[in-house]
Amino acid sequence: MNLQELQNIKDRVKRDIEMRGGEKEYRVVVSMGTSGIAAGARDVMRTMLDEIARLELDNVEVTATGGLGLEGQEPVVRVERTNREPITYGNLTPDAGRQIILEHIVRGNKVEKFVIGKLKG
């Protein structure tokens, strides 16, 4: 890791902080316990953050949590929207994470093929 990379991280974090505050319409919670991390949750979240930054979305915040208890279906992400039932997605890849941002956060439609949990079947 060199200075340039650290500088990028600094700028990125700074920008994220500036975007913080106020009620966000969407909250994306990423399951980041050991099983989630081992299954690839970090890279799913990174891709989602990149997509949010690329599209300059300011109606969403992404947080990490210590595991949502769905070990068999990691990586797992829960999308919460004001006054709506949360939607839980599982078995995600970075590309699936990108699709969730594009479809769910930008257009407001849940991405049926990645939905898991009680909503399935």
Partner 1 sequence: MIAEWKMDELALHILDLVMNAIEGGASHIRVRIEESVIQDRLAIAVADNGRGMDALYLESVLGDFSTSKSCHAKPVGLGIALIKQTTDAAGGTFSVHSKVGKGTLVKASFQKSNVDMPPLGDVESTLLVMVIGNPHVRFGFSIKSDQETYHLDTRSHQLLTINMRREPL
- What is the binding site for partner 1 (CB under 8 A)? 1, 3, 5-10, 12-14, 16-17, 20, 30, 32-35, 37-38, 42-43, 45-46, 49, 61-64, 66
Position 110, amino acid: K
| CB 41, CB 90: distance < 8 Å | no
Q: How far is the CB of 98 from partner 1 (least distance, A)?
A: 15
Please identify, using beta-carbon distances, which residue of 11 and 112 lies nearer to partner 1.
11
Residue with tokens 């399951």: 31
Please identify, using beta-carbon distances, which residue of 34 and 109 lies nearer to partner 1.
34
Position 42, amino acid: R
- The total of other beta-carbon atoms located within 10 Å of residue 3's CB is 7
Please identify, using beta-carbon distances, which residue of 41 and 111 lies nearer to partner 1.
41
Kindly give, in sequence order, each residue whose CB lies less than 8 Å from that of residue 10, ignoring residues fewer than 6 positions away. none
Tokens of 49: 């953050």
Q: How far is the CB of 45 from partner 1 (least distance, A)?
A: 5
Please identify, using beta-carbon distances, which residue of 3 and 113 lies nearer to partner 1.
3
Q: DSSP assignment, residue 21?
A: -
